[in-house]
Chains A and B, each alone.
Chain A
């Protein structure tokens, strides 16, 4: 086996996988390693059996961002038909990830479906649809006429070139909720829906400018592939997409080694032999691997090389106030109603539609809307079923994510009120809450936005892409892509061929080749 590479990439998280695909496609020799036996790192999508193995392995690990993992049962029928994502996300239809999926051709490896609905939980226990478009505003019978005009005025502002409008000047850091109420005279109810369910703010302190930037992107995503702004990837979403990028890298010659522990990483002065700056030795693997450029996810950085590693700066979209997320993953066999109208059969009246469940949808729970829940943070419930190929027929995966103040809380007790509220929304038979077939709770600790560590050299030979922080449900995939492109550009400075005159202007994704004027017969 060849053991000399332009770059060795450690970790197959979404960011690293995109980097691997981009570098391979650009013609560099890549070795991509992961100590796990699965692809996707912290963003992995796992079968039920793999999930249990992951939980057992991570409950004792200290490097992992996941802690306090508890689960209810090891056994479930049809365990292989589940694709459960560790950090579930939805994908805005416009944005860096979708662009990369299209221009890299990786979208061909995967299927996608639109999100059926986004709803918001009301303290009364009712679920309400979120008015995101002109049509929703027009249809709504809960908003007053003047409320409609104000809401439309705000949506037009947010979808337009808001940066130059007078409303925003000097108010970039003002809490978004307050901004909505004072600048656009929106009612508490509507302002709450906009902030939490349209802009995916996590608390009432979220600043205006980033919220507007997110909302702007989501509003422009509406209509690209259908009425919803968001896509959900088949087979577990972003975990499967990370694997898709790995596949694209492999197609272009990258070498993959999974499930081997790293024995050592050593550095030597670059001599005459090419690609010999770093040597990576794997446990139970005969040959050491050599490269000139090392790229690794933060958890792979060995302490002895900590000073060598150049941590790339985090994207502006990655600035988060959230340090710890309580998560739960629950499997149910009763459908949940989010009160959305059935798309396929618009003749069904709302009452009937309310009783038919949702396949793939999001329920936003604003602060103080669930008894016993958080009064400062919004929780996001994401449900997906057979329609996204993530669960067998008649089963649904229900994810809940809630930012929590510290890592000393039990995720189970803090999420219980939310879980109960959602399970009560079952459709059949009415009034009997769904019983979870399986429930797993865990905490995810964000390693924070690290300051740039390591000597910043013009050509750093050890690159560490920034961690993905929890900012909002749809944010992770695009942030990963932005980080991946920054890492790719940085990598080119080291491995870029000297004959490549414009080596720094290489396209992230070179155009896909296709014959001119493919004929239509």
Chain B
């Protein structure tokens, strides 16, 4: 690892007064850089207007995009050139350009991890990898390797910022479009690791919900067996979220995922809802009885949410009057505890009475 100094360079550093001369020299340097940049921009825009699809123009886009990767017109122009003239007429030539573009966008992403145009350009590169031979899939190793490498790239990006939603979005795109798809179970394991390293990560929970949905939807042919399996997965998820709930009940991502989990298990809702209310209440009791945090807003809101679901979907199986009364009481408390959302709770009370 690097010495701590480099990470803390800004602190404890004495500023040296610059002379007027220094400042002027600096201004001159900046001016000349601005002038160069504007001139280059002009050349590019003119070239695009005049439909200049030459290799020189292509190289100019490389230069400007290295200066400013957010200049989306330049990215579009670059792709136009690539499509229009085939200065790379052979497959090998195309592969060479695409791999150069992939490494160029990689460098750009390291400096600008949240620029849409860079991510878009990578997608375009991947999608334009030619099939070398349609009859022999073995010839497509380059394509396969490129997509595999992409997964590695996006994992690196997520290591440096686990909440970069551009990277998560791109990851879903890669997983959906890989020539050889990966089993969803391995993606579930990946989200587990991300959540374990920091569960205050909406993106990782969201990804997990997507993977689980696809697992459930794809379901086995054998209906009963699949239900059993679903239930097992569901219970494991429930245990995971319960751990998060007890570790940090003030973390909103916990409650968001909890709600999603409840909403996603239509099959055995009644049982589950009772089960859930019991466990959330247990958590709530444990919080209040130990003076941890007298009332936990997340807990109470979830209890209300599940009770309302019971009232709405299982009106015939439950004690409506009692549930309504309980919800009402909790909503009244919530209005005091969480005044920022008072109107929302009032509104919920209104819907209860209908």
Contacts and interface: CB of A to CB of B under 8 A. Distances in A.
Given A145-B243, A149-B292, A112 B1 contact: yes
A153 B290 contact: yes
A226 B2 CA distance: 12
Contacts, number: 99
A347 B159 CA distance: 13
Given A153-B290, A225-B4, A346 B12 contact: no
Contacts of B268: none
Nearest to A349: B189
Nearest to A145: B246
Contacts of A231: 4
B3 A514 contact: no
A510 to B, nearest CB: 8
Nearest to A226: B1
A138 B243 contact: yes
Which of A93, A101, A139, A185 counts the most chain B CB atoms within 10 A? A139
Residue in B1, B11, B15, B246 whose Cβ sees the most chain A Cβ within 10 Å: B246
22 contacts: A102-B12, A103-B11, A108-B5, A110-B3, A112-B3, A112-B4, A137-B247, A139-B196, A145-B283, A146-B286, A149-B249, A149-B286, A150-B290, A152-B247, A152-B248, A153-B292, A225-B4, A231-B4, A347-B193, A512-B14, A514-B15, A519-B26
A103 B13 CA distance: 8
Given A102-B4, A107-B3, A138-B243, 11 more contacts: A103-B12, A112-B3, A135-B196, A145-B242, A146-B246, A149-B290, A152-B246, A226-B1, A346-B193, A347-B189, A513-B13
A101 B12 CA distance: 12
Contacts of B221: none
A184 B103 CA distance: 54
Contacts of A93: 4
| Nearest 3 interchain pairs by C-beta | A511-B14, A107-B5, A103-B12
A433 interface: no
Interface string A211-248: 00000000000000110000100000000000000000
A111 B12 contact: no
A135 B290 CA distance: 22
A511 B5 CA distance: 13
Which residue, of A102, A113, A513, has the highest number of chain B Cβ atoms within 10 A? A102
Contacts of B4: 93, 98, 101-102, 107, 112, 225, 231
Contacts of A145: 242-243, 246, 283
A111 B29 CA distance: 36
A185 B290 contact: yes
Given A98-B4, A102-B8, A112-B1, A135 B13 contact: no
A512 B13 contact: yes
A71 B198 CA distance: 46
Contacts of A519: 26, 29
B258 to A, nearest CB: 14
A135 B197 contact: yes
B287 interface: yes
Nearest to B14: A511
A138 B204 CA distance: 15
B1 A105 contact: no
Contact of A138 (B13, B26, B247): B247
B11 A102 contact: yes
A138 B5 contact: no
A149 B5 contact: no
B294 to A, nearest CB: 13
Interface string B3-47: 111011101111111100000001001000000000000000000
Contacts of A2: none
Contacts of B198: 135
A456 interface: no
Interface string B230-266: 0000000000001110111100000000000000000
Given A107-B5, A134-B248, A148 B243 contact: yes
Contacts of B8: 102
A138 B199 CA distance: 8
B1 A148 contact: no
A191 to B, nearest CB: 16
Contact of A114 (B1, B18, B249): B1
Contact of A516 (B16, B29, B249): B16
A70 B35 CA distance: 74
A316 interface: no
A38 interface: no
A329 B180 CA distance: 53
A148 B12 contact: no
A101 B5 contact: yes
B15 A148 contact: no
A145 B12 CA distance: 44
Given A512-B14, A513-B16, A149 B287 contact: yes
A390 to B, nearest CB: 15
B243 A513 contact: no
A102 B6 CA distance: 9
A515 interface: yes
Given A108-B3, A112-B4, A225-B1, A509 B12 contact: yes
Contacts of A152: 246-248
Contacts of A513: 13-14, 16
Nearest to B7: A225
A264 to B, nearest CB: 41
Contacts of B9: 514
A510 B290 CA distance: 49
Given A149-B286, A153-B290, A138 B196 contact: yes
B148 to A, nearest CB: 15
A15 B90 CA distance: 69
Contacts of B196: 135, 138-139
Contacts of B197: 135, 346
A134 B3 CA distance: 27
Interface string A92-135: 01000010011101011011111000000000000000000011
Contacts of A347: 189, 193
Contacts of B286: 146, 149
Given A101-B5, A135-B196, A149 B18 contact: no
The CB with the most chain B CB atoms within 10 A, among A105, A138, A516, is that of: A138
